[in-house]
Structure formats: C-alpha cells, structure tokens
Structure 1
Amino acid sequence: MNKMDLINELHQRNLIFHITNKNKLKELIKNKCISLYCGFDPTGESLHVGHLLPLITLKRFQILGHKPIVLIGGATSLIGDPSFKTKERLLQSDNLIDKWTLKISQQVSFFLDFNCNFNSALILNNNSWFKKINVLSFLRDVGKHFSINTMINREAVKQRIKRLDQGISFTEFSYNLLQAYDFFILNQKNQVSLQIGGSDQWGNISSGMHLIHRTSKKEVYGLTLPLLIQSNGIKFGKTESGTVWLDPKKTTPYKFYQFWMNIEDSNVYRFLKLFTFMNIDEVNQREKNKYKNNQIIFDKSLLAKYITRLVHGDENLSAAERITNILFFKNIEDIKESDLEQLKKDGIPAIEVYKIKDLQEALVFSSLAKSRTQAKNMIISNSISINTKKIVNKNHIINNNDKLFDKFTLLSRGKKNHCLIYWKNKI
C-alpha cells in the first residue's frame, strides 16, 4: 500500500465516520508526508479498549511515512469534555492529572515508533501552552472568532441544555474553544494539517478547523472514527463487570484476551478490519469461509492474539493462552504462579480461606453448590474437578496435594464454572 491508497484503505476498513474535503486530503497525502494528531484527556489512570481505534489509526499513518502526534490534555482534562456526556465530570486536582498524564504517556508509547527519524511520533501536553496564556488575550484572540449561536446549536451541547436535571456549565461550554486552540497551536508550531478522533469529537475538530481558517486562511482537515456500540447499546469496551482497561493492573492480560474471545460472532471480521493490519481481501475471504470447519472460532482467536500481543506483548499473551488452556482444555502442566495470580485478580471467581472442612464445604463456600447435599450429588455424578482432575469421592478432604504452589486450588463444576481458592495462613 502506498500513501495515495490510505484514505481508500480507511474507507474499506469502515474506519471513517466524518471526513472533510476527502479528495483534497487524498491528494495531500499522496504528494507529501503530513503531521496529524489525536488528543487524549487523562481523565483516569489508564486508557481503555475504546482508545485503541485512534491509536491504531495513528499507526497506520505512521507506517506510510506520516508523523503522528499524541496530545495529552493536561489542561483540558481539568475542565472535562461535555461531548455527549449526560452530566459534568468530577473535576480532579492538578497533581492527580499529572500522575495520570505520566501513566497514559507510557501506555501510548507502546503503539507508535518514537525513533524513526523524520516521522518519529511525538507526545505533547497542551498544558505547556495553556499555562502561559492570558485569559483576556484568549477571549480577544480566540473567542471573537466563535458565535455563541453556532456553539449552542452543536448537538452535544443541545442535548445537555435540554436536560432539566443537568444543564451545562460555562466551564464545560468553554471546552470547545480550548480544543480548537490546540489544533491552532499544533498547526502553527508543528505544521499539523489533520486531526483525528472519535465521531463524538466532530464538533470540537470542526471548531479547530474554523479557528485556523479565520486566523491564517490555511486549509486543514478533520477525520473521525466510528464509536463502537455493542448490540446491547453499551459502548464498546464496557462489560457487566466494568471497563476493559489497557493497564494490566486494572484488567489482567487473561481477562483482556477473553474479552476479545467473547465478542459477538457478527463483529469478528469487522474488528479484524478495524483493529489489525491484515489484508482486507484476506479478511473478506476468511469471512466467506467462516462456517467451514469452525473457521470463525479460529479467526476470533486470531483477533484476540493480535490485540493482546499489541497491548501486552508476547509474554503476557502466552500467559493468557496458558490460562485459557487450563480452564477450557484442562492442560495444567505448564501453569505458573503468576497465571494463578491473574485468575485470582479478575479471571474467575475467587475466594480467600484459612480452613475448609472438606470438598462439599468448599463447593458451598465457593457458590458452586447451594448446599452440602447438592455438592455431594455433584461429586457422585462426576462433575467436580480439583486442578482439572475429576474427584469421585464424596467425602474428599482437600489436602496439600490439592494446593498449587502451596496456596491455590482450582475448583471446577463442569466445563465452564470455576472458582479459585486462595489459602491464607492465619497470622
């Protein structure tokens, strides 16, 4: 693929929701390497899977010679973007934002190349220019170019104004101008000609283009990516148990891997186009054969492996696959203590105990059985396993031989119901 194909490639991958002056942008990309940026406000200590799409899109541009800039919103995060939010964000302290900025900058560094000469990626922080600006200068030089009428009529703002329980504060209302100024500064100092973001950022991106045109008559471009919504109406990356984070301390690599393994079948090939660099023709061919020899199961695994490796690396991918083999294929020989620590954190239900009388009590205590009678019947019916080995003795006493690394016992009912017992020593 060469530079002139990139916009078509993004279209074929269904990566474009909005785009300005498509033909001019295609011609620009064809004839020169550009600088582009995407902003990430540090409103938490970690990015989540919803941020993967813009990061991978920046990577697509970089591979073809363009220079990606990640803008960390150290200043704008102190205000909070109101775009399509039902209520105002809780305002955070400067110190906390600084701490989150550092963590997110470290996460971003895994996705882009920061040492490839002329198109090496950059991470910038908008606090570096906002902390120097005078409020009167900002209102005079930036605010005068914006009509309140236009700003109020932006869909994201209108939704909040119409709500009787939650209006919109002036603080949030000003966010649009701040992000517009980001684009203006980056265009002036870093020759940025394209901003990308989620489709909910279209209003903010448009404001930046407007400000640049009004102040310098330059033409710049905007491109937004689709926001991914699951069939249940929940934003992609959120589950019943919470958000799927990129930080392995918040979402273990095993749980991250399983998130991708458990996506709906209807999304497998769409996501292979969105999140991987696999050739589009190959993806389409795989989709045609998806019901042959369970091809779709293999392709789902291919997607899970690719994304887990991208975010967490080969070693953590191997751990996720080991744990999967243990739980679903009963292969426990290669288990590591660190794998069990992952399971204890968020892989499967886990309990901490000092002492349990017998297996029946363990089944009840772990909620795998409702009563000792039910537990006994489960054991007799050959449906209970300890560390993947079937237990048929209804009076089995859990002993040291049942403890992995002297502190873990994997209790299973059937193929899909598990509980990890963590044995604690009394102090």
Structure 2
Amino acid sequence: MDILQELRYRGLIHQLTDEEGLTKKLSEEPVVLYAGFDPTADSLHIGHLLPILCLKRFQMAGHLPVALVGGGTGLIGDPSGRSTERSLNTSDVVEEWTDKLRGQLSQFLDFESTVNPARMANNYSWLGELNVITFLRDIGKNFSVNYMLAKDSVDSRLSNGISFTEFSYMILQAYDFFRMNSDINCSLQVGGSDQWGNITAGLELIGKSTGNKAFGLTMPLVIKSDGTKFGKTAGGAVWLDAEKTSPYQFYQFWINTDDNDVVTFLKYFTFLTREQIAELEEQVKLSPEKREAQRVLARVMTELVHGEDAALSAIKISEVLFSGNVETLSGREIEEAFKDVPSTELSGNEEIGLVDLLIAVKAAPSKRQARQDIESGAVSLNGIKVSDVEKVLQSSDRMEGRYIVIRRGKRNYYLAKFV
C-alpha cells in the first residue's frame, strides 16, 4: 500500500513537508512516526480520531507508530486553536489523565505485533528532567522570537495576550520531536492542521542540532458542510469514554451526519475500501432517504471505538425507539437509551396510579390534562398504549423490576426509576 496515496484519496493530507523525500523514505524502509496527545481531560474525544487513525493507517502499511502522551506538555497547555489561556491542572490530575489516555490509545494500535509493534511514550520522561538553564541554552537558543511570533498559534493570540508559559509550548513540542528523532530514530510527526507551527519548529530544531532529515504531515481541520465545528453536540464534546458518551449516543452522533458530509466522513474515519465507499456514495445520490451510508458509518465507528456488542446494542436501541417496542430492552439499554430524557426516581415499594405517575414524571401539568391524554390514547407505558385512567401500577408493571418508560405523544419520553 502506498500510504501517502491512500491518505490523499481520503483527503487526509493538508500540509506535507518534502513529499518527494518522504515518499522515497516510506518506500525504502519502515518509518517510525508519532502523534502527540495532551491529557487536557480524562478522555480523548472524536476530535482526536483523525491523528489516532492516521497512526493506525501507517501501522497497517507496515510502519512503526508511536503514541506520545503529553504528561509534560499537558502541564503547560498548547495555545494552538485557542483564543484564551488554558487553566493549568495539577501534576496529580495530569498524571491520572495520562494513564487514562494511554489505555484508550491501546484500543486502536497494535502493541503486540511481532512485525511492526506500536509503542507508547510519555514526554514527561524527558521534559521532567529539564532545568531552566539547559532549556534556555541548549534548546531556546535555536529559536528567534521573530520566528515564534510568525507562527499562527502565537500570532492569533497576541491580541488577547499569551503568557510566557504557553509561548514556550512550541519549543517544548519541538524538543519532543528532537528527542523522538534522537532516541528512536523517529522521522515523521503527524497531527492536526493547528499543529503545523509546532511540527515545523521540531524540524527546525532537529536540522540545527543534528542535521538529520525529518518530515511533518498535518491533516485537515474537520468542518461540517454547514460551517459548524465537527465533534460538538448540544451536550458538549463527543467522548471516546463510554461513561462520558454512551455507545448509543456515540452511534446517534454519526447516524445524524448530513448527506453532504457522510462520504467525506466515510473516507476520513473508516477503513472501508474505495469500492465500498463509492457504492455508498451512489446510494446517497439515488436513495438519500434510506440513509444507508449513515447507518454504515454509525455502525462501523461505534464498533471501532466501543466494540461489536456495543454497536449491535446501539442499533437495537435505535430501532426500538423508532418502533416504540421498548419492552425488549435490557436494564442497561434502558439507562443508555434514556440517559438524556427526563428521569424521576420513585419509591420502589409503592403502588402508584397512572394519573399520579404522569404528574410525578412531569409528563402532564395537571391531573385533568393527564386524564385527557390517557383517554385520547396519547400515553404508552413500556411500549404499550394505555387508556384506563383508573389504572394502578404494580411492581409487575416495571421492566427489569424497576423501570417504567412513559411516552406521551409520538416523541416525548419520560423514565420512572423505582429505587
């Protein structure tokens, strides 16, 4: 596989230093490459997927990826892509988050391969040893202030102000590349387009310090066709941690992809073949209402991040909510499916009348309205329509012994949990 041709087909090359030289090197030997991930939260999010999957694509092509977790740079804060200063986290917090990110990265890269195993590194192992004299004399002297001010990541912050702490981030990341190059012969750094200035700073340091030849590659910033930022929802970021963004929510994010974006995302994020993508692209043109491309994208991405069982469960939940047959859901699936709907905890020992239940979960504003809704057939319990305003609910009416799913009208769901 010509990895650069594959990346170009998928639209994953935004900037590249010395394409001819890198093409030659990649064809001659397995290349060590890396991408960095700073622990700015306790989980990676889908904005990190492009560099993660880029490393995976290189490994599939026979090269040697390194996932560098920024235990050191995470204590400083990258100004790239930000208009304001980051809040600094304590070393304990950064260390905890670093461990969590290492675990997540191991889901995507093969560290057990006997041919070209992936590796993990933590830049705190060398940045933590630096003293200020060494930093200023041996590293800082290689960078002019004018050179640093010209970088977008710094220039864009000058109007709002940038601390010396974040101003120095570029040099620290450049030193990362230098150390990776010196220690393990790493000759390629990949990252998002906002990392171009940091990557080329590393090339500058390597060239001045050792004369070695190294390369940089950035991927495009993912922007949806409507101009909004990719990876954000009304509830915030879409995380890779199932506790922060459930597999069902993750699946829903992808299945709601716009027709104008779905083929691009299939190229960016999946490992489907060109033929498979071309077939789905044709279906988008001929039968967009079937949303087959979105279904494939959502299934493949959920399986990639959360596993096959989680993907199948997410599909099941989606189908159940569409049909209304919620009685087939397990307790875990109920919790996942109705995570974002109004939820009310009630005493597990009490019987409760249907009218009172609708009031308790705020499905109706008054008993009069509750009775009208029941009599008109607008209320369903656990997927079954009810019309008896005098109905009293027993423990036997609860799913899994503790859940009652109330639907009022076609789309308004409420969850009662008996504890």
Choose which of 122, 130, 133 in structure 2 pairs with 1:133. 130
How do residues 137-216 of structure 1 correspond to structure 2 at under 5 angstroms?
A: 137-163=134-160, 167-216=161-210
Who is 2:330 aligned against?
336
Question: What secondary structure is seen at the aligned counterpart in 2 of 1:157?
Answer: helix
Superposed displacement of residue 307, structure 1: 0.8
The normalised TM-score by structure 1 is: 0.92
Choose which of 59, 64, 67 in structure 2 pairs with 1:62. 59
Alpha-carbon separation, structure 1, partners of 2:368 and 2:262: 43
Alpha-carbon separation, structure 1, partners of 2:367 and 2:281: 48
Superposed displacement of residue 58, structure 1: 0.7
Alpha-carbon separation, structure 1, partners of 2:238 and 2:108: 17
Does structure 1 conserve the Cα–Cα contact (< 8 Å) formed by 2:225 and 2:260? no
Who is 1:116 aligned against?
113
Superposed displacement of residue 182, structure 1: 0.3
Who is 1:388 aligned against?
383
Question: What secondary structure is seen at the aligned counterpart in 1 of 2:86?
Answer: coil
Does structure 2 conserve the Cα–Cα contact (< 8 Å) formed by 1:286 and 1:295? no
Does structure 1 conserve the Cα–Cα contact (< 8 Å) formed by 2:381 and 2:405? yes
In structure 1, stretches of 5+ residues that fail to align are none
Choose which of 238, 247, 254 in structure 2 pairs with 1:253. 247
Alpha-carbon separation, structure 1, partners of 2:174 and 2:366: 62
Counterpart check, 1:348 vs 2:341: yes
Who is 2:372 aligned against?
377
Alpha-carbon separation, structure 1, partners of 2:319 and 2:40: 36
The normalised TM-score by structure 2 is: 0.94
Superposed displacement of residue 142, structure 1: 1.1
Question: What secondary structure is seen at the aligned counterpart in 1 of 2:393?
Answer: coil
Alignment CA distance shift 1:70-1:160 (3 Å): same
Who is 2:315 aligned against?
321
Alpha-carbon separation, structure 2, partners of 1:11 and 1:215: 32
Alpha-carbon separation, structure 2, partners of 1:414 and 1:291: 33
Superposed displacement of residue 260, structure 1: 1.1
Alpha-carbon separation, structure 2, partners of 1:80 and 1:296: 44
Question: What secondary structure is seen at the aligned counterpart in 2 of 1:69?
Answer: strand
Choose which of 83, 88, 108 in structure 2 pairs with 1:86. 83
Q: What is the one-letter code of the residue matched to 2:26?
A: I
Alpha-carbon separation, structure 2, partners of 1:132 and 1:228: 36
Who is 2:71 aligned against?
74
Counterpart check, 1:26 vs 2:23: yes
Question: What secondary structure is seen at the aligned counterpart in 2 of 1:302?
Answer: helix
Alignment CA distance shift 1:291-1:401 (3 Å): farther
Alpha-carbon separation, structure 2, partners of 1:155 and 1:407: 55
Alpha-carbon separation, structure 1, partners of 2:209 and 2:82: 30
Alignment CA distance shift 1:13-1:329 (3 Å): same
**What is the CA RMSD across the aligned residues, in angstroms?**
1.9
Question: What secondary structure is seen at the aligned counterpart in 1 of 2:35?
Answer: strand
In structure 2, stretches of 5+ residues that fail to align are none
How do residues 97-112 of structure 1 correspond to structure 2 at under 5 angstroms?
A: 97-112=94-109
Who is 1:44 aligned against?
41
Question: What secondary structure is seen at the aligned counterpart in 2 of 1:103?
Answer: helix
Alignment CA distance shift 1:155-1:293 (3 Å): closer
Superposed displacement of residue 212, structure 1: 0.7
